[in-house]
Structure formats: structure tokens, C-alpha cells
Structure 1
Amino acid sequence: MRILWLKTELLHPVDKGGKIRTYQMLKQLKREHHVTYLTLDDGAADREARERAEEYCHELVRVPHRTRAKFSAGFYAELALNLFSPLPYFMKKYESAEMRREIAERGRRAEFDMLVCDFLMPCINVPEEVRAATVLFQHNVEAMIWRRHYEVQTNPLKKAYLYGQWRKTHGFERDACRRFDMVVAVSREDRETMQSEYRVESVTDVPTGVDTDYFRPRGTEKCEPHNLVFTGSMDWLPNEDAIRYFTAEVMPRIRQALPDVTLTVVGRNPYPSLVELSRRDPSIIVTGRVEDVRPFMERAAAYVVPIRVGGGTRLKIYEAMAMEKPVVSTTIGAEGLPVGDGAELLLADTPEAFAERVLNVLTDERLAQELGARAAATVREHFGWERVAARFAEACERAVRLREQKRASVRLEEELRTAV
């Protein structure tokens, strides 16, 4: 297949879940298919990001596009103006007439026979008429994320704004999913949500994967017996909410039993109040972006996923499992992953229960080792990226067949009308 892959950013540095999933999938797909990677480019990525694109595509096409920096005056102005827009803000800011023209022109020249929209955001620039088969790769059910933000928000003004974003997203996402020949979700739960909420007929799911060769204990770091670790981009709202919740409501309860407990937060762009908290409280260590998360994971006695808001699946859980770490997560944090409470990880949904589960693995070495060993065995056997990419390619081939069936049906209708 000749695949035109649509995105809103370059992939390097490969430092967050969505980038990791896309990078690993494309590396596998590139072996058997021609991949053109068409992306918006805000200029933030360096030359290395452009040069290393050859790792995952045969051709890179960049469309210049600017978005407002978070927390800037322009950003807040756009949020206010979005009150009068039918589009949710996270979609509106990626509108690009130039990207739409580029897609249309390549379509007219028949340069691709498969268009893949990676995440919901690029689809705002997909022309109404596309001759090639189309796939929407949904890493999340975006409306679900906004609904959960709305549900946990306590500030009345923010809650009202989030309600509006949720309802706009629900309508846009429903209509977008119905436009594509095939929608690919990353979990059975997301697939069933899109079938029931959006009445999408052509939807399938592929599992989340992990690089089981890369994420493996190396024995180069000494484990700190009361150190916890969380990894993830700290400019993603669900991760920010998770750490706010954990530091305010869970950590103090753990500290009552283990005064020397520490939490290491590894991930790019930590929010200002977290940085300030780490200055005041030496038990909270904030690294910012790092080149390699594995040493921080290996030093930790347990991996925590206190996520209350989100959709899709958490790659970070599989990475921790592959590193043989005991994982304590909320149910939402582990949503969509075929793992069981008490088998591959521990689940807890209240501050009291979460603290208790963390204390269990920090004080019971045998329990921690057994959880880590079972978890690692599961991901190594079932969730390598090669299998995941093969499933995705099968979904794309199904989309091609569906498009051909639609064309045949249209031709037949035209012939019947002509005959009459």
C-alpha cells in the first residue's frame, strides 16, 4: 500500500504515549508499505527531528503552522473566542488551509491508496471527497476525556467551560468517525464506546504494544525501597490531574506509614506549581524531560498510575510491566488493557485504597516480585509491536475492500438508472 499518514507534529523526540505508539507502528509498516508522513510543523522540532523521520517514513512533508503557547495571553484569548465557535478548541487550533490543499492535490495525482488520520485532530483538514480508502486512528475517545475533566472539576467557571468543550467534542467526533471507511481504536472498550455512542459500524481495535527489547531491567541501577515513580508528559492534562491528586490526597496517607517515601515524576514540561512543590518538599523529585526513562523506573520500588481522567490506553503501564515493576493504578488508568487486579497489577480508586495498595507492594517484597514477574511475562508474550502493526495493516486492508465495495455499489446504481 501507498500510505498517506496525517499528523500534527513530528515524532522526535519520541517522548509521549501517542508519539511512541505512532513511531513503533510506522517503523513496522514502513518495512512493507510506502509511507508519506504529512504533518503540521510549528517550528519547535529541531533538525534532528526532521532527519530522523527516515526511521518511520519514506517521504516527509511539513506544513508550517503556528499555535499559541499554553498560558500565554493569546492562548487565553483564543479560549475565550472559542465560546462562539461550533468546534472544540483542541480541534479549531489545528485548522490549516495549506494542509487541506496538500492532501487534495496529492489525492488528485493519485499518490496514495490509503489515507490514515492519526488522532482526531488532523481530520479537520481532510477534504470532503477523498478517492482513496480512509482510516481514522483513534488513540482515545476524545469526548470521554473532556467529559471526565468536566466531572472532576470543582471550579464552577472551569466546569462550565469544560462542559461546553465536552459537548462540542462529542458532536464533532461522532460526525468525524462516520466519515471514514474504518476507525481503529486502541482497546475493546473504546471500540464499543464508538459503536454505542456514535453508531459507527466500521470500527475495529488493535492492542497497545511495548518494545520488549528496550524496556527490560539492565541491573545497572540500585532499587530504592521506598521510591515511587510516575512517567508521562506533564503538559497533558490527565497526567497533571493525576499528580495533583496523588501529591495532595494519596502521598500524605502513604507518608503516615512510611515517612521516607519519595515520588519521582519523570516527563516533559512539568506544570509550575509542581516544580514549586518539589522545591519545598524534597520527597517530590521532578526531572522534566529525560533522554531515557528506564534508569528512573529501575530505581523505583513501584510504579504508580493515579489517573482519573483519560481515554485510550496507557503505554506507560506496559513499559513498567516490561521493566518488571509492580504497578498500582486507578481503574481508569488501566482502562482498555487486558490486565487483572491482583494478577499483573493492583487497582485502587480512592485515596485510602490507593495508599494501602502502594504500601502493600513497598512492604511486601514477595508480592512486589510476583506482580512484576507476571506482568513482564504477559507483555513479552503478547504485546510486541510487530504483532500490533500487523493487526493495524489488516484493518487498513479491510478499509480498502470497503471502499471498493462502495464504489462498486455506486457504479451498479448508475448503471441501473441508465438502463431505466
Structure 2
Amino acid sequence: MNEPHSSLQPATLITHAGRPKGCKVTVNPVVARTSTVVFDSMATLREAVAGRARHETGLVYGRKGSPTGESLEAVICALEGGHRSRLFSSGLAAITCAILSVVRSGDHVLVVDSCYEPVRKFCVQYLQQMGVDCSFFQPDLSDLKAKIRPNTRLIWTESPGSILFEMCDLPALVALAKAHDNVVVAVDNTWGSGLMYCPLRLGADISVIAATKYLVGHSDVMLGAVTTHQDRWTALADMGDLLGHCVSPDDAYLALRGVRTLSVRMRQQQDTALQVAQWLQKQALISTVFYPALPDDPGHAIWKRDFSGANGLLSCEFRTDVSAQAVDAFVETLQLFGIGHSWGGYESLALPVSPAAVRSLSHWQGRGNVVRLHVGLEDPADLIHDLQTALARLGEGLAG
């Protein structure tokens, strides 16, 4: 589904890719709602079924996809620079199907220690039950080479990582993987969203995005997408069909509407997040701010080399004398930051998180409590004033 847009910049791609062609067409694709597709003859039905068996586009049955979904897949594929993209009902559905399309009983999977928590649970609780051995490696790759086994089939990474946003040197990881036969590299690209980061162009085989986040951008759709190179496409598409994954054309339409403004939203959220992060670094109650776009962040050099920008997601570590209860009170004092899971929408969010609970290799003993902030499209001065008010109240509580 890769369209002839390779020379265009990302902001232009998301404006033009996946749009209807012709003399008299609507600007946006229609919402094609259907379960049943009827054909003029048995010959045309058989032709469509044969095409679908070859994973070509085209209507066969509602579960097999819609023109609306195919338009969105075209946009994502153009951004990611892959062979084809496939939609899923959530980011986690996309992740698990991508993994299952690669591994079989007897295989070994290596997963970055900074991965999204449900990935850890899926690997430990499900994959090991089906005979797939799983182990974890440090985000800085210091132990990766020693942990690759003869039966290692998949290396799963996320850059930057969840919660603390550790950067992974993907080209170095790919080099280690490709020194061994038959090792597939898959990347969770939700943070970069295809706009800021393109793992497939850096050597990865599979890129997964929780489109629920920045691609949709309005906190109203659950959606995932997987993009692959040609040699991984058939296995992914077959697994998606076997597991019955499908996406509503209404959800695909909403995501299409969201993705058209992806570049302007992320640019604004990066600018505001950087202002917030720099302000937080100066606050006495904050010991560390985790945000790769900060010049003194440990992963800044990799981020600057491999990424074209950042987003609105950052975390801050409080001083060790600030208790978990005090951090909860801080979050509850905020007026412009909602309390909730997810991120990537237009609104700001705050959530206490626990690095120690979702790491098996990285130690957090003796460190402070952490709050993850998602910076939305509000004015930075208002967000900073809100944070300042909450920090002042927190400081008064500690002094009292």
C-alpha cells in the first residue's frame, strides 16, 4: 500500500496520503460501513477472495477490512516507510499479534526492560505458557549481546521506554541482531508516532503504533497499527486474519481526521512540554525530569540523532522526602491536568507511576516517587501556573 510519496516531508504525507483520487471526489474518504459484500457473479467473488488470499486490498467481507480503513493504512504506511500497514482494535492487540506472527514454541524472545507493562505481562504470562522463553535486556544494550541465544527469534524494543523514557540505540541493536540468523527486530513506535521516528528506516523489521495516542489525537478511539517490510507482511496479515482482528470504519475515519493535524499538534505539544520540563528542572521539590529533548537527558544524543522531534510526554521524580501520599495530593491539586491513563490527546494528564513495579533489571531503590505528565494543547503559562500552585501547596504540607 506504499503510495508514491517517498520524496515528500511527513507533514505533506499526512495531508495527501490515503485521499480519494478522481475528478469529482470528496476530500475525505467515505465511511464504508458493511459486514456483507455482494458480487455481480461467482467469478468476481472468486477473484476478490483470491486477491484477499494474496493480501491485496479490496472488499470481500467486513471483517477483512474497509476502504476507510485502507485509506488510514495508506497514511500510516507512508509515514512509517514500510511495505504495508494493518489496523487493530487497540495498541495492545497490534503488539500481541505482531509478536505472535513471529514466534513459535521453542523460540526465545528478548524484551527491553523499559517496555510497556502489558508487553511484559503478555510475554511472562502467555508466551512462556506456549513454550516461548522470554528474558529482558537493559535499554542501554549493555547486556544484549550476551543474552542472544541460538534460538532467539525476536528482539522487542521501545524507544524511548515507558515511564522514564530511556533511549535505545536502534541501529546498534539492529547490528547485533543481524549478526545472528533469523532474528526479527520489532519496535513500539507509539512515542514517535511515525512522524518523529521511523524504526523501519533504521533497520527494524516491524513497527507498532498505539494509534489511540497521537495519531487519533482526540482521546475518543482505541486503535493500533503494525507496519512491516515486505518479508514480514504475509505472516502478520495471516495472523491478523486467523485471530479475527478488525477495525470499525467509523474509528478509522476518526483516526484519519486526527492524523491530518498530527504534525501541528505534536509540534505545539513538544514546544509546550519542553517549557514545562525546563521549568520543572528548576523546582526544589523535583530531583529529576525525564524527557529526551532536554540537553542533559542521558538519551539526548540518541534522540537528536534518530528523531526529528519530541512529544508532550515527560516524567518528574520528586525528592525522596516526598511520600507517595503527598504525590497523590499533588496530582489531585492540579486543575488543568486530568487524572487518567493513556496520553497523546489534546488534553493534559497527570498520573503517579512506579518504575520499580515494571522493571526487572533497573533498580529504583532510594529514588523518589514519580509522576508522569502528558502536556496537551493548553497554553504553557497556564500549565506552569497550575503546576506551581500544586507544588507550593505540596511544599507547605512538607513544612507543616
TM-score by length of 2: 0.31
Q: Which structure's residues are more often helix, by fraction? A: 1
Task: Please give the TM-score of this superposition, normalised by the length of structure 1.
Answer: 0.30
